[in-house]
Structure 1
Amino acid sequence: MALAGGVTTAVTCPGDANLIGGTCAAIKTSGKTVSEMTMVPELAFHMCLTDDVRTTYSSKRAPKTRLASAALIREALMKAKNYHTLWKLSEADPSRKPPKFDMKLHSLMRVFDGMPVKITAKRSHDMTTAIRIAEEFELNYILEDCTESWLIPDILKKHQVNCVVGPSYGQKSNESRYRDPIVGSVLEEHGITFASSTAHPRMNIELAAIHLTLMYKKGLTAMAALESATINAARFCGLDQRVGSLEPGKDADIVIWDGYPLDYYSSASTVLIEGKVVYQK
């Protein structure tokens, strides 16, 4: 599906069922084994501030409210930060006893060494909560989904937020009632650089170009649309030294289209990954 949609690289993350779901990996979309496909096994931590967390476990466990979601993430980060401090002190001074080993905290503490944090948030107030928490702990963060980002562009610009937008169309629910492909043109108008995503399987990854086309039809410029799916996405993930543009020394991931890429009727006819043809229509 990814190759049919002209997608050569993807960042795969845990789902949105948990507040802190674990780490994301960067993969190429062609290969026979997971290890062969993997570019970066642990690229970023994934967190979530959507209704998905509160509805997954119903009334059986916390969080049951938005307040609880934010509080539990803060609590986990506070514990991880303290653990990180004690661990680093013990490394610097062998006479100091390290904290009791905790697998979860040991993994999470890496966000205090600069490991990116991808926070899924759809509603504008959830996005501002994510910004507040991320800046409180000085995290290297990226906001994901960003359904209502077009309603708060001034806030996003003020905080210089990196946004991964999408899907911007499809079935609407309580959290996505303001979903609209106009998001792309509004962010561009306010000088906000963003990346595009289908959030597969929420929207099939083979429709990645359709997602761009819809935003293009709603006023996003062609160059901004293409950059959102290529170099911007690569930069946000720290992969721009390998992918995201055609330059000497990069991976030679190339998609040849049978028409204008931002046309509903165009499709990927030939896909190359690392200079090898992996898909032909």
Structure 2
Amino acid sequence: MLAIVNGHVMTMAGQSISRGTVLVEGSRIVSVGKDIPLSDHMKIIDAKGKIVMPGLIDAHTHVGIMEEVFRIEGDDTNEVSDPITAHLRAIDAINPADLGFKDALAAGITTVVTGPGSANIIGGEMVAMKTYGQIMDDMIIRFPAGLKCALGENPKRVYGKGQKMPSTRMASAALLRETLVKAQNYLAKKEQSHEKDIFTERCLKMESVARVLNREIPLRVHAHRADDIMTAVRIAREFNVELIVEHCTEGHLIAPWLASAGVKAVVGPVISSRAKVELMNRSLETAMALYRVGVQFAIMTDHPVVPVNYLALSAGLAVKGGLPEEEALKAITINAARLVGIDKRVGSLEPGKDADIIIIDRHLFDPNYQVVALLVSGQQVIP
């Protein structure tokens, strides 16, 4: 058993504990509190003068899929041969040796959501995973963690230049609707075949979309501009699916409508230029606007668009935009875990959860913070 003692424990599940103790056995947290009895056989980590927190969570990246060094050989982000590739699985493209995972660990990020890019209307299935491990299969927390879709400039640019559909926003929405209807028909035929005891040929594309229709996983739609976000909301309402808006750049312009629709969002990246028209209204105040009306959200880096190790800085900039500090911390810990559907395992320091724990030398939003110790599933990775 391992005991982390004397640190300022920020559990992200309630009040922080001054000079608190976190007990770890195997891969799990077994106790969190103050004045917990210790035994001689325990391994002790003295965190005096340090902050103890749950490992950070980046809810939208392309770590392992879009490698920074191998820009051609290691880029498996977008399969641009077809705008509908729902059957693609992020787990088949991720390289655990990608340097981005080392950067994540050095910054205290123990969980990322990674997946396909935004060239296609439907890009494939995303995965929530640990940032430490040798093989992908042992790093998975939740798969699939959502079906990645995209609206707006990216699909228009990729396919429009070849005079292929979609070259307009109308066509993008139509393709998404058409695919959802095909999946509805697939499910209906499958049910009829089951009743009549008739064999139904499998379709991997439709099976993936069916998971969205059955509300097993969310539809995670890349959308920057307000009109594209509302198109995603319209389609989600039409098919009664769970929607998470990825980026949500102009979310502050339509926050009340997103709240009334029960939409969730992953906001960012905020450390970027206005590199395209859709980013014209990029603002540090987006997270605050969503928080004010009760929209559930997390904060992302979109690595490698913004390096994953700048996640804490990204959340800190949301504080500059008016977001309360506590909410910014939640947006990269417990609230990110809830949004992704993995909060029973990660996101806070509570008994029974994975022992993903970081010890830092100063407040997370100080750009000079250093991770002095880090555990992933109870295994000490740093130092």
Q: TM-score, normalised by structure 1?
A: 0.94
The letter of the residue matching 2:354 is D
| 1:99-110 aligned within 5 A | 99-110=200-211
Flag the structure with larger Rg.
2
1:263 CA drift (Å): 1.7
Say if 1:107 and 1:157 are closer, same or farther in 2 by CA, change over 3 A. closer
Deviations, residues 150-177 of structure 1 (Å, cap 9, x unaligned):
1111111111211111112311020111
Mean Cα deviation higher: 126-135 or 112-121? 112-121
The letter of the residue matching 2:289 is V
| 1:195-214 aligned within 5 A | 195-214=298-317
- Correspondence for 1:157 among 259, 273, 287: 259
1:143 equivalent to 2:282? Answer: no
Cα distance in 2 between the residues matched to 1:242 and 1:196: 19
Aligned to 2:176: 73
- Correspondence for 1:52 among 144, 148, 154: 154
- Correspondence for 1:5 among 101, 107, 110: 107
Deviations, residues 226-270 of structure 1 (Å, cap 9, x unaligned):
111111111111101100111000001112222111122223332
1:59 CA drift (Å): 2.4
1:140 CA drift (Å): 1.6
Cα distance in 2 between the residues matched to 1:112 and 1:126: 21
The letter of the residue matching 2:214 is D
1:58 CA drift (Å): 4.0
Total equivalences in the alignment = 278
CA RMSD of aligned residues (A): 1.5
1:98 CA drift (Å): 5.1
1:85 equivalent to 2:197? Answer: no
Aligned to 2:68: none
Give structure 1 stretches of 5+ with no counterpart: none
1:43 CA drift (Å): 2.0
More strand by share: 2
Deviations, residues 176-228 of structure 1 (Å, cap 9, x unaligned):
11111111222222222211111112111110000011111221111100111
Aligned to 1:22: 124
SS in 2 for 1:47: strand
Contact 2:141/2:342, CA 8 A, preserved across alignment: no
| 1:147-186 aligned within 5 A | 147-172=249-274, 173-186=276-289
SS in 1 for 2:279: coil
SS in 2 for 1:163: strand
The letter of the residue matching 1:102 is C
1:99 CA drift (Å): 4.7
Cα distance in 2 between the residues matched to 1:5 and 1:121: 28
Q: TM-score, normalised by structure 2?
A: 0.70
1:112 equivalent to 2:213? Answer: yes
Mean Cα deviation higher: 69-78 or 113-122? 113-122
Give structure 2 stretches of 5+ with no counterpart: 1-102
After the TM superposition, which parts of structure 1 deviate over 6 Å for at least 4 consecutive aligned residues?
none
Cα distance in 2 between the residues matched to 1:213 and 1:246: 21
Cα distance in 2 between the residues matched to 1:144 and 1:190: 18
Say if 1:191 and 1:116 are closer, same or farther in 2 by CA, change over 3 A. closer
Say if 1:188 and 1:78 are closer, same or farther in 2 by CA, change over 3 A. same
Mean Cα deviation higher: 32-41 or 120-129? 32-41
Cα distance in 2 between the residues matched to 1:154 and 1:107: 31
Cα distance in 1 between the residues matched to 2:239 and 2:376: 38
Say if 1:185 and 1:103 are closer, same or farther in 2 by CA, change over 3 A. closer
Mean Cα deviation higher: 68-77 or 169-178? 169-178
The letter of the residue matching 2:198 is K
SS in 2 for 1:69: helix
Identity, in percent, stands at 39
SS in 2 for 1:175: helix
Aligned to 1:252: 355
Cα distance in 2 between the residues matched to 1:269 and 1:124: 41
1:96 CA drift (Å): 5.2
Contact 1:162/1:236, CA 8 A, preserved across alignment: yes
SS in 1 for 2:277: coil
Deviations, residues 94-150 of structure 1 (Å, cap 9, x unaligned):
x25355433312332221221221111110110000000011011122111111111
SS in 2 for 1:270: strand
